[in-house]
Each structure stands twice: as C-alpha cells, then as structure tokens.
Amino acid sequence: MKKLINDPQNVVAESLEGFAAAHADVVAVHTDPPFVTRAGGTTAGKVGLVSGGGSGHEPLHAGFVGVGMLDAAVPGAVFTSPTPDQIAPALQAADGGKGVLAIVKNYTGDVLNFETAAELADAEGVTVRSVVVNDDVAVEDSLYTAGRRGVAGTVAVEKIAGAAAERGDDLDAVVAVAEKVIANVRSMGVALTACTVPHAGKPSFDLPEDEIEIGIGIHGEPGRRRIPLAGADEITEMLLTPVADDLGLTGGEKVLLFVNGMGGTPASELYVVYRRARALLAERGVEVIRSLVGNYVTSLEMQGASVTVLRLDDELTALWDAPVHTTALRW
C-alpha cells in the first residue's frame, strides 16, 4: 500500500484539518465530534440541509457545504457511517428555525444512525425530515443496503434541494423537491480496479487485470457481473442503457448527464465516457441540456466511473442553475 498518509487511524482527522485550513472562507470544521458547517454559521429563517456518510468519497459530502447546497456534513471513518452523536449536533447546527432536511444515502448504517440522530435532535427542539437517495440501478439488497444503493445521484439531490432551501422554500417544499429528484435520477457504475482502505492495507476485493466489474458500489460492493475488459464505448452502453431503461426515458425529454469518476480515472477518460453516453441518449431522442463531468463521488483511488441521468423539467433546471458556492461545486 502506497498512500500519502501517516497513521491510518488518523487519516480522516488529518484530512479534515487540512480541509479546514485550505477553505476557511467556505467551511468550518468542528472536531469533537467531527462535522463540517458553513463558515458563516447558520442562516436564520432558512431550512437547513445536512448530509453525511463514510469518508473516502470526497468531495462528497463536506465538499458540498456552502451557499446553495448543504449547511452541514458529517464524515464517518473511511467507508463507515458517522455515528448518531456526530450527526445530532450537525443537525442542531444547521437549524435556522425552519427545520432541517437530512439527505441520506441508502446504506443500512447511514439510515439507522440518521434516524437515531433525528430523534436526539427532536428532543432538543429541532424538526428533522429525511429523504433516502437510492439511485443505483445495478442491484437490490447489496452487502450494505436493503433496496437500492445511494450513489452519485446524491449530488443532484443536494444541489437542487439546496437551491430550493436557499430561495426560501419551507421544509415541506424542500422535501418535495428532494423527493422529486430522487424519483427522477438513476446511476450505474463500473470498477476497473479495486481501492485500498487505509486501515485495511490491501485491496478491498480481487479484480484481475483483464476483468472489470459492472454495477459496482462505491464501497467496492459486487455489481451485476464481472466481464472481460472491453472498450469504453461498450462499457458506457452497459451503464447508460439500464439507467435510461429504468427511468423510462422517451423521445423529447430533457436531462442532466453526469459522468462521475471513482477517484483514480483521469478526466480525459471520463470525457470519452460522456461522449458515448450523450450519443446514446441522442439516439433515443433525449436531449442533454445540462452536464457534469468529474470526480464528485469517489471510492478512494478506485479506477472506474459511473453514469447518472436526471430527468429535468423547468423547475429542476432552474434549481440546478441557481448559484452555488462550495469547495467542490460553484457557479
């Protein structure tokens, strides 16, 4: 294992320390327990947005704390859910008096710990609602989940719900927007290599040099099938087709196309995937009107990518376009 780390047990704490120092104009990092908030603190009179999950997926979630997106994020240990005693103070910190929406990826630990934290926050007078992101079409009931996994579609949920909260929508309306995104976003990924969790010190699964895993999860969970290495166009079709079919896309619809890197794949390759995915959508008569390409929901240094499609209407497009200023996403 070759990594730019010191003690594997201190990776998350030292990473957060550097993150805080590098981006003090955007975020504030709290250490006991660890969670991240906006540098300017809570915005009074606005619905708060909180998300979180295991570390190792950066910039998710701390990289999306800022104006137009999250108010707080809670990083657990690498690939491990944050604990309720971390999440509860983040929920309280995000409360501006109009309630808080927790955006939770569908992993059993995350769901249970956010539920417990919401009860703790409620006891302190904070109204908390939750939505569960389950955009991965690859498999049901994986090692970490009951039902579909939450993956790269989480970025769209956080961005669009964040814009709704920023414009002053009440809690019910922000929840409704988040649920609308969840109902209209789907993803699927591929792994070319495994990743190595620092405290484990070895690859999280065995993947021969001449094989790839289609439908992989962001923690290295098994996908739909393992196949011989193929060309980028063929792999992209294996990802895009089930996504588009599951959404039931028809000619004339407009979408956001998001090609996400798993951490170890260069941008040049992600654009090769984007090129083919966009062409496949055009063949269906589907118009790509918004795009995002890059490493946003990673799996440490895994080589691979995921393809996400979000069905857009005028409301979702306007909310996607709304200003955002975080460390990882800004326009």
Residues labelled catalytic: 57, 219
Cα 185 from Cα 137, distance rounded (Å): 10
Q: Which of 274, 244, 107 is nearest to 184 (CA)?
A: 244
Order of all β-strands in the sheet with 287-294 = 225-228, 211-214, 185-191, 304-312, 254-261, 287-294
Count of positions (residues) in the chain: 331
Beta bridge partners of 214: 190, 225
Amino acid identity, residue 155?
Answer: V
DSSP conformational letter for 8: G
Cα 297 from Cα 218, distance rounded (Å): 8
* φ and ψ at residue 26, rounded to 5 degrees: -115, -40
Q: Which of 60, 305, 296, 301 is nearest to 195 (CA)?
A: 301
Beta bridge partners of 287: 254
